[in-house]
Amino acid sequence: MTLATQLAETKAISPGRADRGAAERRRGLSSPAWALAPAGAAALGLALHLALPDRQPSAALRPFTGLLAAMLAGSLAMAALGRTSGRPGAWARHRSPLAAGIVLTLVAWDLLTLKLAWLPLPYFPGPDRVLGAMWEDREALALSAYHSLRLLACGYAAGAAAGLACGVLIGWSKSARYWGMPLLKVIGPIPATAYVPLAMVMFPNAFISGVALIGLAVWFPVTMLTSSGVADVPAAYLDVARTLGAGRAHLIFRVAVPAALPSVFLGLFMGLGAAFLTLIVAETLGVSSGLGWYLKWKQGYLEYAHVYAALAIMSLFFSGLMTLLFKARDRALVWQKGVIRW
């Protein structure tokens, strides 16, 4: 047997072994034994929370006990679901280790603050104080969350639309690339927050100033990655389309842009992160609502429980929007399954 034949057989066998190894690793984390891990973590956390004395002043509201009890009940239901067959059972088994990690993180937070006082007040409030602040200020937080979401959505939409248009133009046209790339290299590396004085002068309305800053933060990564994706479309795709009689508009919107979608979505993901970073600064431009404004207000009074409550809401926003963007990417790039590993 020649060396080339041995290498060919090794390559033919290796993917199967790799797939079996990956499947075994997935089964290890998704076994029925892991389905009981969240319930065990919740029961341990509840027992420690009730048994250990408080080393910090107790909050007026004690919602963490109810949260742990609810987590225990939900974990038991999840464990029962994990012992069933089918897609729901597989989902429960797959998510059980993650759920256990979340519960243990909350338990560790409670131990380090309220029970052991290793992290001092007022800078590190326990979960009872944060959850209580979230309930006490629920109306203000809900209004601030609405204004932040509206500002973020408007700024992100404006920046993404401008970035897509500029990216397609720069990636397709040599003349636009000649003039546009130097401009991107000059403006792009400067943080959008550095343009706060300019935005305040150009846009006397605080909301429009915030939208402009967030849009600028989103525009740069979307433009750069879209133009790179359009410029790197294989020439064979365009040649085949021209042979079939495609015009310029068909080449751009039916060939180049779909082929560049992986780079486009990468730019959209990066733009979403930049938008959240700019949101806090954008909400300090004379506005009287929004999560950024709320953070600054409560931090000035050293009410860090309210600060952490606002940060928790912002993290939920970011996670939810990122999940929606992932869903949109999976739907738009469904043709890549089996070609690119998700």
| 52 occurs within a structural domain | yes
Task: Judge if 110 and 236 occupy the same domain.
Answer: no
What residue has token string 């429960």? 92
For the residues 280-308, what does the mean pLDDT come to?
85
Kindly state whether residues 93 and 192 are assigned to the same domain.
no
Same domain membership, residue 94 and residue 189: no
> Same domain for 190 and 55?
no
Instruction: Provide the domain count of the chain.
Output: 2
pLDDT of residue 338: 55
Q: What is the structure's pLDDT at 309? A: 92
| Nearest-10 crossing angle of helices 174-187, 206-231 | 130
Statement to judge: residues 215 and 178 lie in one domain: yes
**Residue at 257 is within a domain:** yes
* 182 and 297 co-located in one domain: yes
Of 124, 151, 175, the residue that ends a domain is 124
Does one domain contain both 153 and 219? yes
Is the residue at 19 inside a domain?
Answer: no
Same domain, 284 and 157: yes
- Looking at residue 30, its pLDDT comes to 56
Whether residue 290 is contained in a domain is answered as: yes
Is the residue at 178 inside a domain? yes
**Domain-terminating residue out of 124, 153, 170:** 124
Claim to verify: residue 60 and residue 97 sit in the same structural domain: yes
pLDDT at 5: 41
Q: Note whether 29 and 97 are within 8 A (CB).
A: yes
- Residue where a domain stops, chosen among 71, 94, 124: 124
The residue segments making up the domain with residue 96 are 33-124
What is the per-residue pLDDT across 7-43, written as a single tens digit (0 to 9) for each? 344 444 444 444 444 443 444 555 666 778 888 999 9
Query: pLDDT of 135-165, one tens digit each?
Result: 989 999 999 999 999 999 999 999 999 999 9
DSSP type of residue 212? H
The reply to whether 11 falls in a domain is no
Does 44 share its domain with 167? no
For residue 25, being part of any structural domain is answered with: no
Residues 206 and 286 in one domain: yes
161 shares its domain with 63: no
Digit-coded pLDDT (tens) for 216-244 = 999 999 999 999 999 988 888 888 888 88
Residue 310 sits in a domain whose CATH number is 1.10.3720.10
24 in a structural domain: no
d(CA 241, CA 237): 6
Q: Does residue 267 contact residue 224 with C-beta atoms inside 8 Å?
A: yes
Predicted structure pTM score? 0.81
pLDDT for 43-65, tens place per residue?
A: 999 999 999 998 888 777 789 89
List, in sequence order, the alpha helices (H) in the chain. Answer: 3-29, 37-51, 63-82, 87-110, 127-136, 138-172, 174-187, 196-202, 206-231, 235-243, 248-250, 257-259, 261-282, 291-300, 304-332
